[in-house]
Structure 1
């Protein structure tokens, strides 16, 4: 008993001694600890959010802490969480709205897995976009005053992604709506008809987010940072019974989408269930006005071009065209790279032998990646069958360009067609030079003479050959650039391999028919041909036409170029040896590509495809800027399309 009592006494005293020590330890353990992050971890954590890492950003987590909430609580009881964040004190408006935008976006992302988005998920995206919209335009500070805030950059990303998903779902709803609809109900919201200035020849069949596209073969993707989500709008292909015209308006168009919400105050915006989509053509609009503030409009200018090339099938079609096989191109087309703009100067690009618009895969993209050039120029690409003789393509391309110009500028008064520029590579450069040259009567020597032809036959022969042998410069063109162009032909066309390829080429049926008709006209009354041998005349195909001994290439080599045209040469130099005059680009001799009287000539270390080199693209940019300065009267600044939320009414914006 005494021993037990002693043990209890010692225990009691031990507790009295240890207790204070434990209390001191507890206080010490509650003190703040510290650790150091690696630099890349610091950056990763500062940029982490529900979009990039799948977890809430630090700023939103801190906002939840202020109102005594955790991420887990918000996941388990989302409605209660957003109610508390929306009404509790301790948060300023920017903290509250940015947190709500991210919470709603995370909620939408969690449920956005099905092929078809349900209404609940659509509603969550709309809530996220609305809170982001309210944060950007209806809080005390302006977007410009928050330009260095990381929170604002995140909120813009939340808005853009929510808009991207909402617009994609709305696009799926269009087929069920009447063509004259003004508003519709969707996911508990009143959706007004889009307000649009995008000009496509038909209602799009696809709407593809530009952010989802990645391209191989393009050096750069040119974007304009700004507000809104970037899309590629894809129009349907032409129907077989469509009018046969030489021009093709673009099927793939750049588009920027912006969601605006009803209301003129913060409270009204947060209470509204009315929303409208602004559809903008970024080539026409640089800014959009929202809530009385002008903000830059985002854009992706490469995505439509890249998607068009990727889906074109040009590679195989150009080979079939060269060989004259089924599925090839029968006649030239003028392909517009963007909706026609009467205020932008026009650059016409012509590819070479066995090629297609893919010859300009990086040229068009890189040249118009320059903001000033994009603002002042538009590109037309001539796509033509390269099996036909140069004279035939020259005539048909001239007809196609004339028809296209008349269609888009019937009065001849638009800036687009008063100072046009031709850019041609290889055989396309030869054709481009002839399009700005005068033939006079110099090419009639190509026709075999016959003194025994009747006057009637001579007149018919003249009428039939004149379109190929007599031409004058296109009056709308005042600048031209020739890249690796064999103006005097090339001995490579006489090489054994080239002759073998030439034998595989079938001339177009229309050319064969015309040649037969001309051969008949050249026969005199005795049935003999003009040469006295009675044999039909020979017409070279495109490969033979490019020989340095071909009669047509020899006869046209020194035709005078229009004095109103400033012309330039860009020439490749492949494995130089000897003097410049003895060099070539591997296909075209320097002496053939060189033109006396050129305003500039640049020789670039390159194989024949010189147009793809960065140096050639820089030179082309220089020439375009020179042309722009020479023409003067730069295009006025892009108009600001006022699209304020006060314009949200049932009748606003007819597409």
Structure 2
């Protein structure tokens, strides 16, 4: 066969062979889900290196090297990054360091596992540079998936890099860490915290916990590790351990060259999630990652908290004072919102509302949230006196010179009995309550000065100048039909009133009007007595309008979906009892009595608080 014939035969054979095989380069069809998974694969999802990082390894002929010795490949690529200013190299280094750290974590060798936090910290350093280094090219692209991946890598790697304590606890201290490449000298800066750093007993990662019981988890995206800062302080928090939301942000000095030539200087900054939304880096504002819901759920996880309201009502907590507690540190430029719970209740029942409102991007910056705890079995005028004194004392302590305009625009929100207490912060009773309950004028009573002062403090009420708006939720202004004789007698059998209260009320009993004495049936009254529809004192309070300049809002629950005002009730309070004339707004929520957790109620409170900001 001639050479020409052999060539033709070879071409024909190759043609037949290629006809039965796929080409070296081509395409295949993907469904949308497979296409998305392929384009978003990353080590954070357990997928190994992303396609973009595989490209970087191929570019520098490191694919095979990385498979046999990942740590050596990272060092080689790091050396390249010192000379090559392309940003995609830093994206790749962040991924590769994270993957190596994960491998060390799973290692059977204890020595390798101990090195894992340092490798995670190296990944955070690379990610920080990939995101924020102005000397790299091209500039970060908002639509580049690698940018969001690098943000997540920074946050997760920093969290894992700080877990150097016993049993993987987070440790925040000044130290120099030896990284797989170079070293880093960390200085902790807690100047941004409004709290004494020495009071904290430990820090825990917010992402290390799932939340149950709250409908919304308030998070904001950015850089940093959201932390739970835990301290013990019975004075500052009624419910044992106090958890405050913070964010740890690792700020690096210099550029990537410093990591190659020795030690990188870094500052680990701690920021309050209640105050700081951004940090300034290189002349621009960088958002901080925050989680404000985790601390609410963390505190409320203690089982004994949930029995506080019942225990106080039954007289088991006489040693716990009625007072204001701040849900967050005081800030003079934010308007206080004070929550007052109802009968057999406690501040924990405001958790859903406080969590939602504090996480609102507008309200969270303009308001601060406080709550009032009290023994809900006592006569309402006694508890209301404690509330008024607590507000006055807190105002004097925090703003003695009246420099804070926000402190003079307080909002008080009360549920059920708490609404009655709230009203008694913002009315001018004159002698109305005295006339309804006492035989004669206070000055003419033949009793000692202490008894006269007790009557005056409880019955002659002037509005607090700092309270400008009230929100009543399921409030029995004209009593609850459950507070009839059977319920009142039952309560008298099971509760124990404080000795000083019994003695004080006993000293003025003989001066009460005949109808009041008949209503109280010769007994020291409880809150249930004073919320009876027949109670003269309650009816006198109901007929007293709000003071001039104070705005009021009613949120009234009606459980029967077919009932329309003025009919209907919430199982405890009728619409007719909860309704007040002269309110700026009235909102009906289809719910039982405990409606403060309902989304409709919370949304209405949000609307009112937004209106309060505009209503100067």
Say yes or no: does 1:35 pair with 2:31: no
Counterpart for residue 141 of structure 2: 146
Counterpart for residue 201 of structure 2: 205
Gap change, CA 1:292 and 1:172, over 3 Å in 2:
farther
For residue 166 of structure 1, report the CA deviation from its aligned partner.
2.7
Work out the CA distance in 2 between the residues paired with 1:481 and 1:117.
59
Asked if 2 retains the 8 angstrom alpha-carbon contact of 1:395 and 1:468, the reply is yes
Gap change, CA 1:134 and 1:455, over 3 Å in 2:
closer
Asked if 1 retains the 8 angstrom alpha-carbon contact of 2:328 and 2:368, the reply is yes
- Pick the aligned partner of 1:222 from 218, 224, 228: 218
For residue 314 of structure 1, report the CA deviation from its aligned partner.
2.7
Counterpart for residue 25 of structure 1: 17
Counterpart for residue 395 of structure 2: 405
For residue 22 of structure 1, report the CA deviation from its aligned partner.
6.3
What SS does the corresponding residue of 2:424 show, helix, strand or coil?
helix
For residue 478 of structure 1, report the CA deviation from its aligned partner.
0.8
Say yes or no: does 1:603 pair with 2:598: no
Residues 538-594 of structure 1, C-alpha deviation per residue, up to 9 Å, x if partnerless?
222122221111232123221232111011111112215665223222211111111
For residue 448 of structure 1, report the CA deviation from its aligned partner.
5.8
Gap change, CA 1:377 and 1:168, over 3 Å in 2:
farther
- Pick the aligned partner of 1:571 from 527, 549, 556: 556
For residue 390 of structure 1, report the CA deviation from its aligned partner.
0.7
For residue 405 of structure 1, report the CA deviation from its aligned partner.
1.8
Say yes or no: does 1:50 pair with 2:43: yes
Gap change, CA 1:35 and 1:577, over 3 Å in 2:
closer
What SS does the corresponding residue of 2:423 show, helix, strand or coil?
helix
Gap change, CA 1:456 and 1:247, over 3 Å in 2:
farther
Using CA pairs under 8 Å that are at least 6 residues apart, name the structure with larger relative contact order, 1 or 2.
1
Work out the CA distance in 1 between the residues paired with 2:141 and 2:166.
33
Work out the CA distance in 2 between the residues paired with 1:144 and 1:500.
73
Q: List alignment gaps of at least 5 residues for structure 1.
A: 1-8, 239-243, 524-528, 632-655
For residue 302 of structure 1, report the CA deviation from its aligned partner.
1.6
For residue 624 of structure 1, report the CA deviation from its aligned partner.
0.8
What SS does the corresponding residue of 1:234 show, helix, strand or coil?
strand
The CA RMSD measured in Å over matched residues stands at: 3.7
- Pick the aligned partner of 1:344 from 313, 325, 334: 334
For residue 477 of structure 1, report the CA deviation from its aligned partner.
0.8
Asked if 1 retains the 8 angstrom alpha-carbon contact of 2:211 and 2:297, the reply is yes
Say yes or no: does 1:64 pair with 2:49: no
Gap change, CA 1:285 and 1:482, over 3 Å in 2:
same
Asked if 1 retains the 8 angstrom alpha-carbon contact of 2:245 and 2:272, the reply is yes
1:193-342 → structure 2 map (5 Å cutoff): 193-201=188-196, 202-238=198-234, 251-263=242-254, 265-268=255-258, 271=261, 272-311=263-302, 313-325=304-316, 327=317, 330-342=320-332
Say yes or no: does 1:584 pair with 2:580: no
What SS does the corresponding residue of 1:489 show, helix, strand or coil?
coil
Residues 401-422 of structure 1, C-alpha deviation per residue, up to 9 Å, x if partnerless?
2222222212222133111111
Asked if 2 retains the 8 angstrom alpha-carbon contact of 1:522 and 1:530, the reply is no
Counterpart for residue 164 of structure 1: 159
- Pick the aligned partner of 1:617 from 602, 606, 609: 602
Asked if 2 retains the 8 angstrom alpha-carbon contact of 1:200 and 1:251, the reply is no
What SS does the corresponding residue of 2:300 show, helix, strand or coil?
helix
Asked if 2 retains the 8 angstrom alpha-carbon contact of 1:348 and 1:421, the reply is yes
Counterpart for residue 358 of structure 2: 368
For residue 486 of structure 1, report the CA deviation from its aligned partner.
0.5
What SS does the corresponding residue of 1:392 show, helix, strand or coil?
helix
- Give the structure with higher Rg (CA): 1
Counterpart for residue 544 of structure 1: 529
For residue 282 of structure 1, report the CA deviation from its aligned partner.
3.1
For residue 250 of structure 1, report the CA deviation from its aligned partner.
9.1
For residue 160 of structure 1, report the CA deviation from its aligned partner.
0.8
What SS does the corresponding residue of 2:447 show, helix, strand or coil?
helix
Gap change, CA 1:626 and 1:203, over 3 Å in 2:
same
Work out the CA distance in 2 between the residues paired with 1:196 and 1:143.
35
Counterpart for residue 4 of structure 1: none
Counterpart for residue 457 of structure 2: 467
Work out the CA distance in 2 between the residues paired with 1:378 and 1:64.
51
Work out the CA distance in 1 between the residues paired with 2:253 and 2:57.
28
Output the TM-score relative to the length of structure 2.
0.87
Gap change, CA 1:250 and 1:429, over 3 Å in 2:
farther
Work out the CA distance in 1 between the residues paired with 2:170 and 2:78.
37
Counterpart for residue 467 of structure 2: 477
1:117-128 → structure 2 map (5 Å cutoff): 120-128=115-123
Asked if 2 retains the 8 angstrom alpha-carbon contact of 1:394 and 1:431, the reply is yes
Counterpart for residue 97 of structure 1: 90
Work out the CA distance in 2 between the residues paired with 1:541 and 1:143.
73
The farther-off stretch of 184-193 and 333-342 is 184-193
Work out the CA distance in 2 between the residues paired with 1:116 and 1:594.
70
Gap change, CA 1:440 and 1:458, over 3 Å in 2:
farther
Gap change, CA 1:576 and 1:50, over 3 Å in 2:
closer
The farther-off stretch of 480-489 and 498-507 is 498-507
